[in-house]
Amino acid sequence: MDQALAKVDYAFGLFQKLGVEYFCFHDRDLAPEGDTLRETNANLDKVIDRVEENMQSTGVKLLWNTSSLFTNPRFVSGASTSPFADVYAYAAGQLKHSLEIGKRLGAENYVFWGGREGYENLWNTQMKREQEHMATFFRICHDYAAEIGFDAQFLIEPKAKEPCMHQYDFDAATAINFLRTYDLMDVFKLNLEGNHANLAGHTYQHEIRVAREAGVLGSLDANQGDKLIGWDMDEFPTDMYETSTVMWEVLANGSVGPRGGLNFDA
């Protein structure tokens, strides 16, 4: 916990030196897990106290926060798409607390990235049923956010694979089809990432064009990947031509999104 608290102080010190106005975080990147969800939440709350103090003293704001429903082995078969009711319930409890933190810190957006929401093998997968469960999970989250007065823009971040062989939010078009199928277009927009576009066989410009023409461009991760490796590398953008096409799409759209921004995902 001492290291977790120190990391917050060092991070905000760096933000001030660089002139960073907004930051983002995954819940499990901030604080270590305990033996129970209650203990884990208590650990996180202690770190969030420190985050809130630093936000107030520096003026740095929260662009978005999200919940890591993919790193712990309990989520190996999914979180909202898990076949195990206890895992689904645990994910809901973790997400509930994450939404409460987002409200407390005044997050502009809330991101859902389902690294384990997909499959490894179709022989033991009921795709339609799993996606129905995921849609229900999203509705529950949105209803709870409304209940507690958390008015952040909800974002889905598409990715083709890794750690799953295939993720249900494969790319922008797939995510949009999911939102239309389950009547969630008015609830979600998309948080797009350049490296994720490449993993789906697309350019970053393609993904942004698809999203903006569907009216769901929400926010952008400013990174790039190595197009020859086939894995998510999260490199800082250095390709002038690619970044130019990305910003052309942003200008054509009028903005990144109603409440979105540009953040480094690395």
Residues 6+ apart with CB under 8 A from 83: 77
User: In this predicted structure, what is the pLDDT of residue 266?
Assistant: 63
First to last CA, the chain: 23
Model confidence pTM above 0.95? yes
Mean pLDDT, range 189-194, rounded to an integer = 97
What is the per-residue pLDDT for 132?
99
Cβ contacts of 61 within 8 Å, gap of 6 or more:
21, 22, 23, 55, 106, 108
Task: Identify the sign of the CA torsion 99, 104, 108, 113.
Answer: negative
- Among residues 183, 160, 163, which one has the least CA distance to residue 78? 163
pLDDT tens digits, 38-83: 999 999 999 999 999 999 999 999 999 999 999 999 999 999 999 9
pLDDT, tens digit (0-9, with 9 covering 90-100), for 139-191 = 999 999 999 999 999 999 999 999 999 999 999 999 999 999 999 999 999 99
Non-local CB neighbours of 180 within 8 Å, separated by 6+ positions: none
User: How many distinct structural domains can be found in the chain?
Assistant: 1
| DSSP output for 131-168 | HHHHHHHHHHHHHHHHHHT--PEEEE---S-SSSSEET
Domain that holds residue 7: 2-263
C-alpha 66/C-alpha 109 separation (Å) is: 9
At 158, which CATH number?
Answer: 3.20.20.150
Write out the catalytic residue numbers: 26, 29
Do 178 and 136 form a contact (C-beta atoms < 8 A)?
no
